Amino acid sequence: MVGARKWSIGQQLKHYRLAAGLTQQTLAERAGLSVRSVSNLERDRCVVPRSSTLDRLCEALDLGAVERAMLRAEAQPLSAPAYHRASDSQRLAPLIGREAMQAELGRHLAGEGPPLLLLAGEAGIGKTRLLQELCCEAAERGFTVLASGAPHYGMPGPYAPLLDALSRFLAGQPPAVRRRALQGCASVEQLLLRAADMPSPPAIAEHDLHSRPWQLPAAIARFLTNVAGPTGTLLILDDLQRASADALALLGALVHASAPDALHWGSRPDWRLRLRIAAAYRDTDVAEDGALCMLLADLATSQLVGRHTVGPLAPHHAARLLDHLLARVTEVVVPATKDRMLQRADGVPFFLVSLALDARHSVAPGAMLPWDLQQAIHQQTARLSPLARDVVAVVAVHGRYTTRDELGAVICRPEQDVDAALAEACRARLLVEGRDLSYGLAHDVVGEVIAVRQGGAARATLHRRLSIARERRDATPALP
């Protein structure tokens, strides 16, 4: 009798085949499989078999209920970290108003469309929450889910965040599963184990990987095949705008290899890459000449990527979400305060969550912006150039739409510099363009945060400059 969870699938199959006195060819004929498939399964060189394949093998070997249960236990998809499991979705804020996007994610898991699906949008708009829901659904559908963790600020590490997703997965697995995952991946084994803070064998010197970088895509593809569940592997990459250039190049190679008509490395059937990839990025933080933009242009030309923009919630959906978030507030929040919270949030889920959490702990809900919301806005403005920050500050102090001419008169810089700063602020989604070359704040909270940080003296100076600019404009006679 084979000890539970002590032998791999291949060892169990070989044990049962020899006990039945069958050759690999005879077993293959009985199960309707190729001899090569049986051989790969017995050597644990194949992806975890599908349920239908396992049923045929069990029938061909005439296994009893106990033996079948053992095989099925070993053939379960490799588990992802705990925060990807479906039970955890109950602790997250509900997804409201995202039904169309959820349906699109479901079609992506079903294999429809390109292998890479992108969610684009500004910070706090709900991209990560959609990816969390996708993780839960994928696990239920039989995918093995590999997901990157929270991004590291500063310079990204090698192949981040792609390597992070793989190493996090390895770190959560027992030794036997790690060995199975790393079979045939010698050229990347040391890199993955080191990233997962595990002892790595001295089989591959570090310089070998850098001197032979073409081996890395094939090794990563083999790893993703080794760990695949019955349905395949789902790779989740959040904050892709922070990805290093080497990771983006590797991602491009994996996407090309995941195409239905792709020529797979080694041209071996057991290495076929059953991979779906979902990623999210802040399109406000992507340079037009950066590595991510170049990669997406290449994949779009090859029709290997689908992109969906995640926008603010509709007013009625935002109201439903706020009601749910405020359900645990002990004190009654008056309608006027709720209306003010909805106005401030402007349909951005993170703003709603922050305001609702503040209402649970604040004596006077809505009196001041929560600290975490202020920091999020400050982080966005800090990425701007000094001139773009000045432009946003003028619009924030003005409190309503400001024309380009007024901005130029207050800032006293060449017109082309002001135009470049306005374009930068609009790309960062801090300003929005209105009619007749006028510009306003994308969200009211942006103005509140900037006003607090500037102080009264700076605001008074900008008000005075705006008044002078308007007076000069009104005093200038119109051209005939």
The reported pLDDT for the residue numbered 209 is 47
Instruction: Check whether 461 has a pLDDT greater than 80.
Output: no
Q: How confident is the model at residue 279 (pLDDT cuts 50, 70, 90)?
A: very high
Dihedral over alpha carbons 329, 332, 336, 342 (to 10 degrees): 20
Dihedral angle sign, alpha carbons of residues 87, 90, 93, 94? positive
Closest Cα partner for 54 from 2, 13, 16, 3? Answer: 13
Domains of the chain: 9-74 (1.10.260.40), 82-309 (3.40.50.300), 315-368 (no CATH), 378-475 (1.10.10.10)
The reported pLDDT for the residue numbered 266 is 45
Q: Answer yes or no: are the C-beta atoms of 392 and 364 closer than 8 Å.
A: no
Instruction: Check whether 19 has a pLDDT greater than 90.
Output: no
Q: How confident is the model at residue 308 (pLDDT cuts 50, 70, 90)?
A: very high
Instruction: Check whether 326 has a pLDDT greater than 60.
Output: yes
| Distance (Å, whole) CA 100 – CA 120 | 15
The reported pLDDT for the residue numbered 408 is 80
The reported pLDDT for the residue numbered 238 is 93
Beta bridge pairs of residue 431:
441
Closest Cα partner for 148 from 227, 19, 235, 45? Answer: 235
Q: In this structure, what token pair is assigned to residue 211?
A: 């001197």
Q: Answer yes or no: are the C-beta atoms of 20 and 62 closer than 8 Å.
A: yes
Q: pLDDT tens digit string along 174-192?
A: 887 888 888 888 777 777 7
The reported pLDDT for the residue numbered 458 is 64
Instruction: Check whether 173 has a pLDDT greater than 70.
Output: yes
More confident residue, 356 or 365: 356
Q: pLDDT tens digit string along 73-86?
A: 666 554 444 334 43
Question: For the residues 18-28, what does the mean pLDDT come to?
Answer: 90
Instruction: Determine phi and psi for 469, rounding to 5 degrees.
Output: -65, -40
Provide the angle, in degrees to the nearest 10, between the axes of the packed helices 371-382 and 349-361.
Answer: 150
The vertex-86 CA angle with 259 and 242, nearest 5°, equals 55
Q: In this structure, what token pair is assigned to residue 163?
A: 């390597």
Instruction: Check whether 66 has a pLDDT greater than 80.
Output: no
Which parts of 8-98 are beta strand (E)?
A: none
- What is the number of other CB atoms lying within 10 angstroms of the CB of residue 210? 11
Tell me the percentage of the chain whose pLDDT exceeds 90: 33
Q: Is the pTM of this model over 0.85?
A: no
Residues in the chain, overall count = 480
Instruction: Check whether 87 has a pLDDT greater than 50.
Output: no
Instruction: Determine phi and psi for 306, rounding to 5 degrees.
Output: -115, 140
Mean pLDDT, all residues of the chain: 80
**What Rg, from alpha-carbon coordinates, does the chain have?**
28
More confident residue, 303 or 79: 303
DSSP label at residue 296? H
The reported pLDDT for the residue numbered 333 is 76
- What is the number of other CB atoms lying within 10 angstroms of the CB of residue 316? 10
| Distance (Å, whole) CA 175 – CA 201 | 14
Q: Answer yes or no: are the C-beta atoms of 403 and 435 closer than 8 Å.
A: no
Instruction: Check whether 64 has a pLDDT greater than 70.
Output: yes
Q: How confident is the model at residue 89 (pLDDT cuts 50, 70, 90)?
A: very low
Q: How confident is the model at residue 206 (pLDDT cuts 50, 70, 90)?
A: very low
H/E/C letters for each residue in 338-393?
HHHHHHHHCCCHHHHHHHHHHHHHCCCCCCCCCHHHHHHHHHHHHCCCHHHHHHHH
Tell me the percentage of the chain whose pLDDT exceeds 70: 76
| Distance (Å, whole) CA 214 – CA 202 | 20
| Distance (Å, whole) CA 411 – CA 414 | 9
The reported pLDDT for the residue numbered 307 is 96
Q: In this structure, what token pair is assigned to residue 1?
A: 């009798």
Instruction: Determine phi and psi for 195, rounding to 5 degrees.
Output: -65, -30
6 to 2, 144, 427, 464: CA distances (angstroms): 8, 21, 56, 79
Residue 285: CB partners within 8 Å, gap ≥ 6? 241, 383, 428
| Distance (Å, whole) CA 48 – CA 159 | 27
Closest Cα partner for 403 from 367, 433, 375, 371? Answer: 433
Q: pLDDT tens digit string along 109-155?
A: 999 999 999 999 999 999 999 999 999 899 888 899 999 876 555 55
Instruction: Name the residue with tokens 């791999």.
Output: 8
| Distance (Å, whole) CA 266 – CA 143 | 24
Q: pLDDT tens digit string along 391-411?
A: 998 888 877 788 888 888 788
72: left (phi over 0), alpha (psi -120 to 50) or beta: alpha
Q: In this structure, what token pair is assigned to residue 227?
A: 């760990």
Dihedral angle sign, alpha carbons of residues 406, 410, 413, 419? negative
The reported pLDDT for the residue numbered 5 is 40
The vertex-441 CA angle with 318 and 351, nearest 5°, equals 30
Beta bridge pairs of residue 309:
120
Closest Cα partner for 369 from 400, 408, 343? Answer: 343
The reported pLDDT for the residue numbered 428 is 92
Q: Answer yes or no: are the C-beta atoms of 349 and 124 closer than 8 Å.
A: yes
- What is the number of other CB atoms lying within 10 angstroms of the CB of residue 89? 17
| Distance (Å, whole) CA 304 – CA 114 | 5
More confident residue, 314 or 35: 314
